[in-house]
Structure 1
Amino acid sequence: MSIDQAMQGRIDIRQLSIRLGDGRTAFEAVQGLDCQIEAGQFVCILGPSGCGKSTLLGALAGHLQTCTGTLSVDGAKVSGPSPQRGMVFQHHTLFPWRTVRDNVAFGLKMRGIGKTERHQAADEILALVGLEGFAERWPDQLSGGMQQRVEIARVLINRPRLLLMDEPFGALDALTRLNMQELLLDIWTRIRTTVVFVTHDIDEALFLADRLLVMSSRPGRIIEDLRLDFARPRASELVTSHEFSRLKRHCLELLRHEDGRQLPRLNPLGLPPENKLPRFAL
């Protein structure tokens, strides 16, 4: 990826609201979202079920229309789907009648790129996700974790500005999930595209992200913006650290927060609650 490409991927969200449904069944899924995400950041969005996390991701991908406010990437309004904003879902969407290589190369084929060139590009991306030697396999010959690697490779071959991930490891067992998290971080350190990763798993969010946006229950609003300064590269030992546990407790309190109650405050020194300290400047 060139330097110019590496600088792309800034997201600007200004007073964004999204309504879903029609007529009397319509409801406001997200309300008044306002934030900026810098190019190359790894951002996780955490929130309770039904809070609008996936709705926001769908809008970023260009699949959903906004109601009010603006949503732009590198200064250009998001007005529809684009290979520059690649989406990875919880369950793979691979074509069962195409080999792994042809699944990965499909986007390039649709752009008119020749077979030799697109297969070479596919093999390079498959090596990046650790699937050398599996190019001629069929999707149903792969494990769940390997299928998700192919799914990620199929998005990355387009060199997207944004990598949008909607609970991509939610259906995997615990060990495979951890392995995929570590693989994703390794890939991200090499390509440095902007990642927006939706999850309801606090450990996953804290382990992966530079920045964690916590959303309220529906209509979803951003109620916390945490900058995570854990050193990289990250290892599994991080989840047993004192600071990780402290932030996890704070996130649990936020997810349990109910409207009408004061939002929990993050205590920067780990002191008892009776020590009235100002909230972090985030």
Structure 2
Amino acid sequence: MSAVLAAAGRIDIQQVSISLGQGAQAFEAVQGLECQIQPGEFVCILGPSGCGKSTLLGALAGHLQPRSGRLLVDGQPVRGPSPQRGMVFQQHTLFPWRTVRDNVAFGLKMHGMPKAERQAAADEMLALVGLEGFAERWPDQLSGGMQQRVEIARVLINRPQLLLMDEPFGALDALTRLKMQELLLEIWTRIRTTLVFVTHDIDEALFLADRLLVMSPRPGRIIEDLRLDFARPRTSELVTRFEFTRLKRHCLELLRHEEGRQLPRLDPLGLPLEHSRPRFAI
């Protein structure tokens, strides 16, 4: 899967509002979302719990329909699920009665691909995620991180134009999580599909993304759109750099923002303005 998919995967979110629940229990989850995501971009969505991050991802996957506005992928309205919009959740959805190879190849089986071809494609995907030699294992014989690798391979085998990830590493320990982040960047560098990644972890968002969308508390709105110019390839050393910690502090202030207060802003150097002014003792 070395082909670059840069020509596909554009997302247009045009004044999208989404409501959840029925009748008196209904509430607005996200409100007036407006942004464009270019083909091949790696975008992280960051926000407090309950702000509608996963709701937006579910709408992009085709599982939810907006109450108002338009949601387009490559110029076409999203009207339902599609293999071209692959979804990876926090908990894997592998079939425990199928081997690793058969789990990865399942989508191709549903499309009628002959057994030899789909198994060869599955082995290619397993090599991509670093699981050569595990094709005949059962899911419960793998660690949590390895199970998520299989889940990613199962989605990527459909060669999606858009990869959607909903806190996929949230249940992993810190070291495994870092390894999975580095692996994801390596995979994305090779396939360059558009990737939208939901997280509530600031370090994870800043480490992974080209671009960071920060959402407000419910109803979720996009309150910041940050371009992250850290050089690639990225290593764990990045999180210790001064520029990284400045942006992390700014994101913390955005997440702590209360309605009615002026949003914190960055100066040209990336330092929040309220911290960039000199303070004098009186």
Quickly name the TM-score band, shorter chain normalised: over 0.9
Distance 1:184 1:271 in 2: 30
Distance 1:76 1:221 in 2: 23
SS at match of 1:43: strand
For the structure 1 residues 259 and 130, does the alpha-carbon distance in structure 2 shift closer, same or farther, using more than 3 Å as the test? same
Give the aligned partner of residue 274 of structure 2. 273
Structure 2, gaps ≥5 residues long: 278-282
Give the aligned partner of residue 109 of structure 1. 109
CA offset digits 1:181-211 (Å, max 9, x no partner): 0000000000000000000000000000000
SS at match of 1:105: helix
Distance 1:121 1:18 in 2: 37
1:12 aligns with 2:12: yes
Give the aligned partner of residue 201 of structure 2. 201
CA offset digits 1:35-55 (Å, max 9, x no partner): 000000000000000000000
Correspondence list, 1:154-165, <5 A: 154-165=154-165
Identity of matched residues, %: 82
Distance 1:57 1:131 in 2: 28
Distance 1:153 1:191 in 2: 12
CA offset digits 1:107-161 (Å, max 9, x no partner): 0001111100000000000000000000000000000000000000000000000
Distance 1:124 1:274 in 2: 50
Correspondence list, 1:2-151, <5 A: 5-151=5-151
What number of residue pairs does the alignment pair up?
Answer: 276
SS at match of 1:6: coil
Correspondence list, 1:121-270, <5 A: 121-269=121-269, 270=271
TM-score, structure 1 normalization? 0.96
Shift of 1:214: 0.1
Distance 1:238 1:106 in 2: 38
For the structure 1 residues 74 and 272, does the alpha-carbon distance in structure 2 shift closer, same or farther, using more than 3 Å as the test? closer
Distance 2:128 2:113 in 1: 21
Amino acid at match of 2:182: E
CA contact (8 A) 2:5 2:191 kept: no
Amino acid at match of 1:226: L
Amino acid at match of 1:273: E
Amino acid at match of 2:172: L
For the structure 1 residues 268 and 132, does the alpha-carbon distance in structure 2 shift closer, same or farther, using more than 3 Å as the test? same
CA contact (8 A) 2:250 2:272 kept: no
Distance 1:260 1:17 in 2: 21
CA offset digits 1:80-101 (Å, max 9, x no partner): 0000000000000000000000
Distance 2:4 2:148 in 1: 28
CA contact (8 A) 2:95 2:103 kept: yes
For the structure 1 residues 271 and 78, does the alpha-carbon distance in structure 2 shift closer, same or farther, using more than 3 Å as the test? closer
Q: Post-superposition, which runs of at least 4 consecutive aligned residues in structure 1 deviate over 6 A? A: none
Distance 2:237 2:275 in 1: 31
Amino acid at match of 1:246: R
Distance 1:273 1:263 in 2: 11
Structure 1, gaps ≥5 residues long: 277-282
For the structure 1 residues 138 and 257, does the alpha-carbon distance in structure 2 shift closer, same or farther, using more than 3 Å as the test? same
For the structure 1 residues 4 and 187, does the alpha-carbon distance in structure 2 shift closer, same or farther, using more than 3 Å as the test? closer
Shift of 1:266: 1.1
Distance 2:6 2:52 in 1: 29
Amino acid at match of 1:15: Q
Distance 2:5 2:91 in 1: 29
